[in-house]
Chains A and B, each alone.
Chain A
Amino acid sequence: MRSRSARTLDTEVLIIGSGAGGATTAAKVAAAGRTVMVVEEGPWVDPDAIEPFSIEEMVLKYRHRGPCATLGAPPVAFAEGRCVGGSTEINSGLWHRLPSYLSDEWRDTYRIEHFTDDVLDHYAEEVEQAQAVSLLPSAPPMSSAALERGATKLGWRAVEFPRVFKYDERGRGVKQTMARTMIPRAVEHGAVVTPDCRVMKLLRAGDHVTGALCERRNPDGVTELITINADHVFVCGGAIQTPALLQRSGIRGQAGLGLKVHPTIKIAARFANPIDHGGVPMHRITEFAPSLTIGGSVSRKGHIALALSDSGADFTDALADWERVFVYYAAIRGDAGGRVFAVPGLRAPIVSYRLTDADLSRLARGLIHLGEVLLAAGATELYPSVIGGRVVRRVDELASWWDVVTRSSANLMTVHLTSTVRMGEDRTRTAADSYGSVWGFRNLRVNDASLLPDAPGVNPQAAIMTIATRNAEHFLAEG
């Protein structure tokens, strides 16, 4: 049911989306004394109330309750957070600063101003202090140590990635999501956060955005229309929702083009002994980075069942032995690109992504390297996420996987989506300037994963928050 009357609210700065980009922007701008309103499409869920990676978390915090997929061959499954805190509420919390070779490449290719290592390191340090970025205070869990052990045996480089985790005196870590850090900080400085509020479109007057038209679901089930008038608008809905909102508002140009992801292929590995299943391994094998990274995934019993079933082989016995099974992945930085396209009348945009043949070859190589390191780590049985891929028990059997990674057999997924509103001064390649101002508008900015000109090859949260802090400071400096 929808109420007929539209309420009108006023704010100086409207921030649409409360994930890594939106929450960082809100905290920075509110702390500077500006009047800030944050609207979030999803609910505000107490971060302590729900078990991480549980089915309840999927239902409450994921867009579409979890599964979505790109159009293309093969389709790539992806997930987005849809709650206060966005995808930081559902990710692994791994932290990786933008490598300097990438910032150099992006600065030169897209002509991004003020994008040197010194500048980015300055903002990264600021964010890292706020987020309690840290290494483990004790020995890694078995699932993570297995990667390190396998890499050492093969002579490959493996590193423990820091995470946004705060540890108590007993060594128990709590992930520092936006709902725990930047959102409370923004609220403390007067920001108003409105959950369950979907922005239907931006309101425009010439080269000016005057605010947004929203629909809000109230706790009584009634949906009300709200018009929010704002002097400045930041769109921070992530690489899928941000370009979709711009398009719904009649702003197209480059917005929605150039979607980048990290296509990921998996193996469910069975070990001789039980293995931990409480979290995501913090070790990554960086021997082949940035084109290929190897790591571990969430491995609750449900995730293990899915990974085992992806091979198409009989997995009854392995599932019954699930406490000895863990899911690992190989993720690539591919050549391929995709597109986000908002279709009038549909709430969800269409997302397309087409892998190149070279990407498929990289994935096959990644799968075999992943198999090598898992066998070296002591795995006894490997189930690849490839229909028809044989269950492997020995190194000499891995070669059989070269030919089975095809468009019709590979089961791929990703959780990193970027680059749909690229930033820079080269207007032929970008949709926003070096600080996220959308071309053609004086007061409309984007400040999220969409701005990253390419996939960073690692968890993009650090890059998103660093760039968001830099851009928010630039906005404040403009007066």
Chain B
Amino acid sequence: MLWFERQVVDRLVSTPDPRRRADITSHVDGTIAAMPEHLRAAIGAASLAFGGWFGVMRPRRRSPEATTPDPLVHALDTSWIPPMRQYVRLFRSLVLFAEQELP
């Protein structure tokens, strides 16, 4: 996964257990890598573009005790740019499924 993709996944994973976090991240990484080349390329391009954008905007990381959404995830979720919303939905789907289904 690219740097920004790893950032998004890291913020979407809900469990604090480092080993489980690593398993989930690894599963998402494998799934993204197995995608058709054209879809992977599109996601990679979006990651570079959004990574640059949020590199400038610098949303803060949520503290572990916080009950509000992570600022980066919230910004993607509520963006006026449809591909940003689709982007975070894709990663949320992969993370959610892995969180519920990985043994």
Which A residues form the contact surface with B (CB < 8 A)? 54-55, 59, 64-69, 300-306, 309, 343, 346-350, 387, 408
Contacts and interface: CB of A to CB of B under 8 A. Distances in A.
Nearest to B33: A65
Interface stretch (B3-11, B55-63, B91-99): B91-99
Contacts of B17: none
B28 to A, nearest CB: 10
Contacts of A348: 36-38
B66 interface: no
Contacts of A69: 39
21 contacts: A55-B98, A59-B30, A64-B34, A64-B35, A65-B34, A67-B94, A68-B39, A69-B39, A300-B101, A302-B96, A302-B97, A302-B99, A302-B101, A303-B97, A305-B96, A305-B97, A343-B38, A347-B37, A348-B38, A350-B36, A408-B82
A301 B38 contact: no
A54 B27 CA distance: 14
A375 B103 CA distance: 34
Interface of B: 27, 30-31, 34-39, 82, 85, 89, 92-94, 96-102
A447 to B, nearest CB: 25
Contact of B36 (A68, A302, A303, A305): A68
Contact of B96 (A68, A306, A343): A306
A66 B100 contact: no
Given A65-B30, A67-B31, A346 B97 contact: no
A394 B66 CA distance: 34
Contacts of B101: 54-55, 300-302
Closest 8 CB pairs of A and B: A348-B36, A302-B101, A302-B100, A55-B101, A65-B34, A302-B97, A301-B100, A305-B96
B31 A305 contact: no
Nearest to B77: A312
Contact of B38 (A54, A305, A350): A350
Nearest to B90: A67
Contacts of A64: 31, 34-36
A65 B31 contact: yes
Nearest to A63: B34
Contacts of A59: 30
A38 B73 CA distance: 47
Contacts of B89: 309, 387
B39 to A, nearest CB: 7
A300 B39 CA distance: 27
A346 B37 contact: yes
Contacts of B85: 387
A408 B81 CA distance: 11
Contacts of B99: 302, 305
Contacts of A305: 96-97, 99-100
Contacts of B34: 64-65
Nearest to A65: B34
Contact of B97 (A55, A68, A343, A350): A55
Contacts of A304: 100
Given A59-B30, A64-B36, 10 more contacts: A65-B34, A306-B96, A309-B89, A309-B92, A309-B93, A343-B38, A349-B36, A350-B36, A387-B85, A387-B89
Given A55-B27, A67-B31, A408-B82, A306 B97 contact: yes
Contact of A346 (B38, B82, B102): B38
Contacts of A387: 85, 89
B78 to A, nearest CB: 10
A302 B93 CA distance: 9
A387 B98 CA distance: 21
Contacts of A55: 27, 97-98, 101-102
A67 B35 contact: yes
B9 to A, nearest CB: 15
A350 B99 CA distance: 30
B31 A66 contact: yes
A304 to B, nearest CB: 8
Nearest to A408: B82
